[in-house]
Amino acid sequence: MAPSALPTTGGVRYVPHPKISSVRCRSGCESHGRILTGGSVTIKGSGLAATKRVVFLGGSGSSDDVSVSVTPTSDSKLSVQVPYSAESGPLTAWASKKVHSDPSKSLTIVPAPPPPTSGRLAPVKGPADPGAPRFETAVSSDKAYVDSSGVKFSYRVDGGDPASVKVSVIQLPDGGAVRTWTRNGVSPGAVHSFTWNARDHHKPAPEGRYAFRMTARGQTGATAHSAADGNQRRDAFDVHGFVFPLHAKHHYGDGFGAPRAGHRHQGQDIFASCGTPIIAPRGGSVKANSYQSAAGNYVVIDGADTGYDFFFAHLRERSPLQVGDHVLTGQRIGNVGDTGDAVGCHLHFEMWTPPGWYTGGHAFDPLPFLKAWDRYS
C-alpha cells in the first residue's frame, strides 16, 4: 500500500497499489499474440478498481508513452482500448501521480490498417430516427498532417427540406471531440465542407486516428447520425506530426557522423533523381535561403511547435521562398539537385536541437525520424 497526501486535512489515506498479473488481447487480436492499435486488452490483477489511467510505455524513455483514462468496474479485471499511437512494450496501471503498478510483460502492438477512404460521397449507415434527413459524407484523405492545408470533410443532405448540421472531429478509439462546427438551414442537394488542420485549440493534435462525425436534424426534430458509436472506420483518418521530405523513389546514403575532410557529416543523405520535389516535413517559417560552396543551394525551416530546425542542402536551384515566409507541412520548398560539394543528386537533410541552426543548437542524427516518417508518408 502507498499513502497519498490529503491537502485539505493534512492527513493521509491509503491508495490501493494496482498489481498486474496478466494482459490478454480482447479485440483486434492478430496471430502470434500481436494486438492491433484500436483494439482492446483485458488486464487482470488486484487493486485495479483504484486505477485512473493506463500508460502504454512503448520503448525505452518516455517520449512514446501514451496514457488512457479508465473507469474500472472491478478490482480484479480492467478493459482498455489500445491507442492508435501506442508502440510495442509493457503497460502500467496508475492509481495516482505516484502510485502505480509494476510494468506488465511486453505487448507486441502493430498499427491497424489505414482507414478506407475513397474521397467520394457515400450514403451514411448510422442510426436514424424515422423521417430524419438522409445524407452522404466523404473525407479527402486517410492522412492529415499538423500544420498542413488540412483534411476536408464533405457532405450533402438529400431530400426536400433544409436541415441543421453538426460536424465534429473525434479522437479514436474513445470518441472524445476535439473540434465541432454547426450549420443551420443547410439546403439539400448542395455539397458543403469543413476543413481541419490537425490542431486542437491552437495546439498540435496528438498523433493517432481520428474521424469526422455528423448529425443532421430535420425540421421535425428527427435526427440521423453518420456512424454508430464505436465505428472506427467511417470517415476516419490518421494524424501525423511530420511527413517524409520526398514523395518519390529514394534510398539512404551517408549518415550522421560519416567522416569528411576535416569534419564529420552532420546529417543524412537521401538519394533521388534530380528535380524530385522536396517538401517541408513540418510547417514553420523560413530562417535561411542561401548558397554555400559545400552545401550548395540550401534552405532552413524552423518546425512550428517542435523546437527543431530543418536544413536542406544541394537543392538544384535556389528556393523561391523568402526568409520569414510561412510554409505548410507538405509544401514544396525546392528540388533535389547536386549543387555545392555533392556527388550525385541527393538531399542532404539535417535536424537541429533548440534554439536552432547555428544559434546555440546542435545537429543530431535524423535517421530514426526519417525512417519513422518514411513508413507512413
Provide the pLDDT for residue 313.
98
Q: Of 214, 240, 266, which one is at a domain's C-terminal end?
A: 240
Residue 281 lies in a domain: yes
Task: Tell me the backbone φ, ψ of residue 167, rounded to 5 degrees.
Answer: -125, 130
Same domain, 105 and 127: no
Same domain, 100 and 163: no
Residue 280 lies in a domain: yes
- Residues 48-72: tens digit of each pLDDT: 999 999 999 998 888 889 999 999 9
Residue 80 lies in a domain: yes
Report the candidate in 128, 328, 109, 112 with the shortest Cα–Cα distance to residue 208: 112
Provide the pLDDT for residue 10.
53
Same domain, 271 and 314: yes
Give the structural domain span for 319. 251-376
Residue 306 lies in a domain: yes
CATH number at residue 218: 2.60.40.1930
- Residues 165-193: tens digit of each pLDDT: 999 999 998 878 999 999 999 999 999 99
Our count of domains for the chain comes to 3
Q: What is the pLDDT along the chain (377 residues), one digit of tens a residue?
A: 344 444 444 555 677 899 999 999 999 999 999 999 999 999 999 999 999 999 999 988 888 899 999 999 999 999 999 999 899 999 999 999 999 999 999 999 998 888 888 789 999 999 999 999 999 999 999 999 999 999 999 999 998 899 999 999 999 988 789 999 999 999 999 999 999 999 988 899 999 999 999 999 999 999 999 999 989 999 999 999 999 999 999 999 999 988 777 778 899 999 999 999 999 999 999 999 999 999 999 999 999 999 999 999 999 999 999 999 999 999 999 999 999 999 999 999 999 999 999 999 999 999 999 999 999 98
Same domain, 201 and 226: yes
Cβ contact 223:216 at 8 Å: yes
Q: Of 201, 217, 240, which one is at a domain's C-terminal end?
A: 240
Same domain, 190 and 217: yes
CATH number at residue 289: 2.70.70.10
Enumerate residues 6+ apart whose C-beta is below 8 A from 368.
none
Q: Of 55, 77, 110, which one is at a domain's C-terminal end?
A: 110
Cβ contact 148:330 at 8 Å: yes
Provide the pLDDT for residue 63.
80
Same domain, 214 and 128: yes
